[in-house]
């Protein structure tokens, strides 16, 4: 920000115009950035403003010089043809790794093309992230492969003081937190992989009278007012514990954190780095405690190895690399948005295609197929003789319901929670099936009793007591791990880096037994398997998508797959499937799995484009190519009789196995 402000601020102040747009992926980060930028910009007689769903400073009498916003709000500004955008000189895009290879990222990519067409001069861009594997790929995805860009990387080594612990009971978790916080002011940030787990852990800590008022939860379902209140209290209190999902992975300033605790390993090493990077930011050392819950659905030794692998990769600065995806859902959304912003008037196909020319894979035939599908579904209508499309009834409905600006998944449909006149947040609407007056639920780290359920939302009152709390339903988190991580666990098992320092003594013994047995009976180039009553379980360490692809390609139609293993009813000849993911084309149509994470615009795509989008996970991941090569050339080793291996690995399966 400093050099950009230095370059442009004098003209901006003299002419009193907006010159810099700062785009961040979440409202929480937008709000935090505004607070941090306000004072230094005010000393230069400059105004900083915010534009997101809860606030619009462009409606103030004085236009901000710097505006902090989200991709969706930029969409709104372009939709309403906001004249203040014409004076822009520079754009900063923060935490760009969260937009890379996503529908929101594709949406922003096209928005930037639309913005440039409004402006007579070139814009300067700065794209920022602490966790990107290949900067040129980010440039290709957001700006196009022909865009000129300076790719700047800066090493930032930090000492990681980490311990991996097995938590065998809720009492043990409470005792650990009590021990850490005893006798001194302490700030703890605990990351969990779901909102449900956040509330569960908060409920455990609230059993302690001292901790009760110092425990907070933070996730995307909370209202803006609730989030800001939690962030302020956590930043200012001497002792506080915040249990969060990925919402606090980003650079929000919540003060100095004494230790980061991770309840379960995150999806990938980039998320792991973001989480541990929140601790001890004012020193060069990060204190991390990796917690493994006592859960029947995971293998304790394997989860310990997952954490150890992430710590190893983090210390080496190694990140997964994914090639730019070919995505289409946001293309339909942007076409509808452009037509709606012109009051539904017919818009030439060539004019729409011109906005996508920085994406080589988006030729006119593909764009026309998307437009034709939108027309057949009632969103658009084609002109009788001109090559143009205009609005139809369903597009007007999208505008009326304010659903025209985002590319979020269908599962994001929510119902609001109220306490008196205060909005606490929102939860997935599917919970209305189980919520009725009188039931008690946990939200925002507190217990609430339902007073009333109406079309407007769910009205709550505070509750103190021992009533049974219903468990709220949230969207599933999807695939358990990045295949890159799963593959590296297998590599990690076969190295000499398994040292006791990372683990508690008891956990180290469990890990050492399993690792030693695996090393003794099979090498990195082999695949262990066991025979059960249900069939044969191969421990491929290949990832969920690869395990599905192998079973479908080898015609094992009765199968169960997870990240680590594949259960089939008969033996697999691993040399019978290809080493290259592109050669699995005969089963591509079977790999496709429509899911709740698709946006309404992805659902409107021609089926072939929906399948092509899904296959990007399989085709554009170099780790998958490496895994397929390893498995294709692997020998299989029967480990059925070796109990320490079967007991150490079988719990990793999503499916239940009982000998």
**pLDDT of 187-225, one tens digit each?**
999 999 888 899 999 999 999 988 988 999 998 778 878
Q: Is residue 28 part of a domain?
A: yes
Show which of 287, 316, 345 is a domain's final residue: 316
Q: Read off the CATH number of the domain in which 91 is found.
A: 3.40.50.300
Question: Cα 390 vs. chain centroid, distance in angstroms?
Answer: 35
Q: What is the pLDDT of residues 648-658, one digit of tens each?
A: 776 444 433 33
User: What pLDDT is stored for residue 81 in this prediction?
Assistant: 93
User: What pLDDT is stored for residue 653 in this prediction?
Assistant: 44
Q: How many CA atoms lie within 13 A of 121 on its CB side?
A: 10
Looking up tokens 């599933």 gives 476
CB distance 472 to 443 below 8 Å: yes
User: What pLDDT is stored for residue 282 in this prediction?
Assistant: 55
Tokens describing residue 652: 């990793």
Show which of 370, 400, 430 is a domain's final residue: 400
Burial class (CB in 10 A: 0-12, 13-18, 19+), 583: exposed
Looking up tokens 């000849």 gives 573
Closest to 194 measured CA to CA, from 442, 543, 560, 542: 442
Reduced to 3 states (helix: H, G, I; strand: E, B; else coil), residue 368 is helix
Give the Cα-Cα-Cα angle 266, 270, 275 (nearest 5 degrees). Answer: 60
pLDDT surpasses 80 at 254: no
187-192 vs 259-263, strand pairing mode: parallel
User: What pLDDT is stored for residue 601 in this prediction?
Assistant: 94
Q: Is residue 25 part of a domain?
A: yes
Domain range for residue 395? 329-400
User: What pLDDT is stored for residue 156 in this prediction?
Assistant: 62
* Ranges 170-179, 431-440, 517-526, 608-617: which has the least confidence: 431-440
CA gyration radius, the chain:
26
Question: Cα 375 vs. chain centroid, distance in angstroms?
Answer: 32
Q: Which residues on adjacent β-strands are paired with residue 635? A: 526
Residue 21 and residue 36: Cα distance in Å, rounded? 15
Question: Do 521 and 604 share a domain, yes or no?
Answer: yes
User: What pLDDT is stored for residue 656 in this prediction?
Assistant: 35
Residue 278 and residue 250: Cα distance in Å, rounded? 8
Question: Do 523 and 589 share a domain, yes or no?
Answer: yes
Q: Is residue 77 part of a domain?
A: yes
> What is the pTM (predicted TM-score) of this model?
0.86
pLDDT bin (cut points 50, 70, 90) of residue 184 is confident
Question: Do 436 and 312 share a domain, yes or no?
Answer: no
pLDDT above 70 coverage of the chain, percent: 92
Which of 135 and 183 is assigned the larger pLDDT? 135
Of the ranges 39-43, 284-288, 316-320, 443-447, which is most confident? 39-43
User: What pLDDT is stored for residue 477 in this prediction?
Assistant: 46
Q: Is residue 109 part of a domain?
A: yes
Question: Do 167 and 219 share a domain, yes or no?
Answer: yes
Tokens describing residue 152: 């700047």
Domains contained in the chain, number? 5
Question: Do 304 and 441 share a domain, yes or no?
Answer: no
Q: Is residue 324 part of a domain?
A: no
Q: What is the pLDDT of residues 340-367, one digit of tens each?
A: 999 999 999 999 999 999 999 999 999 9
Of the ranges 165-179, 232-246, 259-273, which is most confident? 165-179
pLDDT surpasses 80 at 430: no
Give the Cα-Cα-Cα angle 129, 131, 136 (nearest 5 degrees). Answer: 75
Q: What is the pLDDT of residues 366-375, one digit of tens each?
A: 999 999 999 9
Question: Do 492 and 553 share a domain, yes or no?
Answer: yes
Give the Cα-Cα-Cα angle 645, 646, 647 (nearest 5 degrees). Answer: 90
Tokens describing residue 6: 């230095």
Closest to 250 measured CA to CA, from 271, 223, 221, 227: 271
Give the Cα-Cα-Cα angle 641, 646, 650 (nearest 5 degrees). Answer: 150
Give the Cα-Cα-Cα angle 264, 265, 269 (nearest 5 degrees). Answer: 165
Question: Do 516 and 614 share a domain, yes or no?
Answer: yes
CB distance 19 to 90 below 8 Å: yes
Residue 659 and residue 652: Cα distance in Å, rounded? 15
Q: What is the pLDDT of residues 569-605, one digit of tens each?
A: 999 999 999 999 999 999 998 988 877 678 889 999 9
Tokens describing residue 601: 């615009």
User: What pLDDT is stored for residue 614 in this prediction?
Assistant: 92
Question: Do 209 and 267 share a domain, yes or no?
Answer: yes
Residue 117 and residue 596: Cα distance in Å, rounded? 35
pLDDT surpasses 50 at 59: yes
Tokens describing residue 644: 């320490």
User: What pLDDT is stored for residue 561 in this prediction?
Assistant: 92
User: What pLDDT is stored for residue 555 in this prediction?
Assistant: 95
Question: Do 644 and 502 share a domain, yes or no?
Answer: yes
What residues contact 340, with CB distance under 8 A and at least 6 apart? 79, 391, 395, 396, 398, 399, 404
Show which of 95, 112, 143 is a domain's final residue: 143
Q: Is residue 149 part of a domain?
A: no
Q: What is the pLDDT of residues 512-556, one digit of tens each?
A: 988 998 999 999 999 999 999 999 999 999 999 999 999 999 999
Work out the mean pLDDT of the chain and round it to a whole number.
89
Give the Cα-Cα-Cα angle 185, 189, 192 (nearest 5 degrees). Answer: 150
What residues contact 303, with CB distance under 8 A and at least 6 apart? 264, 265, 292
pLDDT surpasses 80 at 284: no
CB distance 647 to 566 below 8 Å: no
Closest to 266 measured CA to CA, from 244, 299, 251: 244
Question: Do 303 and 343 share a domain, yes or no?
Answer: no
Q: Is residue 405 part of a domain?
A: no
Question: Do 258 and 352 share a domain, yes or no?
Answer: no
* Ranges 70-84, 161-175, 293-307: which has the least confidence: 293-307
Residue 185 and residue 174: Cα distance in Å, rounded? 17
Label residue 332 left, alpha or beta by phi (over 0 means left) and psi (-120 to 50 means alpha).
alpha
Question: Do 500 and 544 share a domain, yes or no?
Answer: yes
Closest to 288 measured CA to CA, from 254, 265, 317, 321: 265
Residue 125 and residue 414: Cα distance in Å, rounded? 35
* Ranges 226-235, 281-290, 471-480: which has the least confidence: 471-480
Q: Is residue 578 part of a domain?
A: yes
What residues contact 188, with CB distance under 8 A and at least 6 apart? 177, 180, 181, 240, 241, 242, 257, 258, 259, 260, 261
Q: Read off the CATH number of the domain in which 378 is found.
A: 1.10.10.10
Q: How many residues does the chain have?
A: 659
Of the ranges 117-126, 227-236, 441-450, which is most confident? 117-126
pLDDT above 90 coverage of the chain, percent: 62
Q: What is the pLDDT of residues 432-488, one digit of tens each?
A: 768 889 999 989 888 999 999 887 789 999 998 888 888 887 655 444 568 999 999
């Amino acid at each position: 920000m400093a050099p950009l402000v230095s370059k442009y601020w004098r003209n901006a102040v003299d002419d009193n115009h907006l010159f810099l747009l700062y785009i961040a992926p979440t409202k929480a980060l937008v709000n935090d950035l505004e607070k941090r930028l306000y004072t230094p910009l005010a000393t230069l007689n400059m105004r900083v403003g915010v534009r997101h769903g809860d606030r619009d400073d462009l409606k103030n009498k004085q236009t901000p010089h710097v505006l902090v916003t989200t991709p969706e709000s930029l969409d709104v500004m372009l939709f309403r043809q906001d004249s203040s955008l014409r004076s822009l000189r520079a754009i900063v895009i923060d935490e760009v790794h969260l937009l890379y290879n996503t529908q929101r990222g594709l949406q922003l990519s096209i928005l930037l093309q639309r913005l440039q067409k409004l402006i007579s001069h070139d814009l300067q861009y700065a794209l920022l992230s602490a966790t990107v594997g290949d900067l040129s790929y980010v440039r290709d995805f957001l700006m196009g492969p022909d865009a000129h860009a300076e790719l700047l990387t800066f090493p930032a080594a930090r000492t990681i003081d980490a311990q991996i612990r097995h938590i065998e009971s809720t009492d043990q978790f409470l005792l650990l937190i009590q021990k850490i916080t005893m006798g001194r002011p302490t700030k703890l940030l605990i990351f969990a992989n779901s909102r449900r787990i956040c509330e569960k852990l908060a409920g455990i800590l609230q059993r302690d009278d001292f901790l009760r008022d110092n425990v907070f939860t933070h996730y995307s379902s909370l209202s803006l007012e609730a989030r800001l209140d939690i962030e302020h209290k956590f930043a200012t209190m001497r002792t506080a514990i915040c249990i969060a999902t990925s919402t606090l992975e980003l650079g929000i300033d919540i003060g100095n954190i004494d230790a980061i605790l991770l309840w379960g390993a995150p999806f990938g090493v980039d998320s792991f780095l973001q989480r541990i990077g929140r601790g001890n930011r004012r020193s060069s050392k990060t204190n991390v405690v990796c917690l493994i819950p006592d859960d029947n659905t995971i293998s304790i030794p394997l989860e310990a190895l997952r954490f150890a692998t992430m710590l190893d990769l983090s210390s080496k600065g190694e990140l997964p690399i994914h090639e730019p995806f070919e995505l289409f859902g946001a293309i339909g959304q942007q076409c509808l948005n452009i037509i709606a912003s012109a009051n539904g008037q017919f818009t030439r196909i060539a004019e729409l295609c011109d906005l996508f020319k920085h994406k080589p894979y988006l030729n006119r035939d593909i764009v026309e197929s998307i437009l034709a599908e939108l027309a057949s579904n009632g969103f658009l209508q084609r002109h009788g003789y001109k090559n143009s499309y205009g609005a139809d009834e369903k597009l007007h409905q999208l505008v009326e319901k304010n659903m025209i600006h985002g590319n979020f998944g269908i599962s994001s449909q929510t119902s609001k929670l109220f306490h008196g006149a205060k909005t606490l947040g929102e939860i997935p609407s599917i919970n209305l099936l189980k919520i009725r007056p009188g039931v008690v639920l946990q939200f925002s780290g507190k217990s609430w009793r339902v007073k009333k359920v109406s079309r407007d939302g769910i009205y709550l009152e505070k509750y103190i007591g021992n009533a049974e709390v219903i468990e709220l339903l949230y969207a599933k988190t999807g695939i358990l791990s990045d295949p890159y991580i799963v593959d590296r666990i297998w590599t990690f098992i076969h190295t000499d880096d398994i040292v006791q320092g990372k683990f508690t003594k008891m956990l180290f013994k469990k890990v050492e037994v399993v690792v030693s047995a695996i090393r003794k009976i099979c090498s990195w180039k082999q695949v262990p398997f066991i025979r059960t009553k249900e069939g044969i379980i191969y421990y491929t360490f290949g990832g969920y998508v690869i395990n599905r692809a192998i079973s479908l390609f080898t015609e094992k139609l009765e199968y169960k797959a997870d990240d680590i293993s594949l259960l089939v009813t008969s033996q697999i000849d691993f040399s019978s499937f290809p080493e290259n993911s592109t050669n699995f084309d005969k089963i591509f149509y079977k790999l496709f799995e429509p899911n709740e994470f698709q946006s309404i615009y992805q659902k409107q795509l021609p089926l072939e484009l929906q399948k092509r989008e899904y296959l990007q996970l399989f085709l554009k991941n170099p780790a998958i190519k490496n895994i397929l090569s390893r498995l294709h050339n692997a020998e299989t080793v029967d480990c059925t009789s070796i109990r320490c291996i079967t007991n150490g690995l079988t719990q990793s399966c999503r499916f239940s196995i009982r000998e």
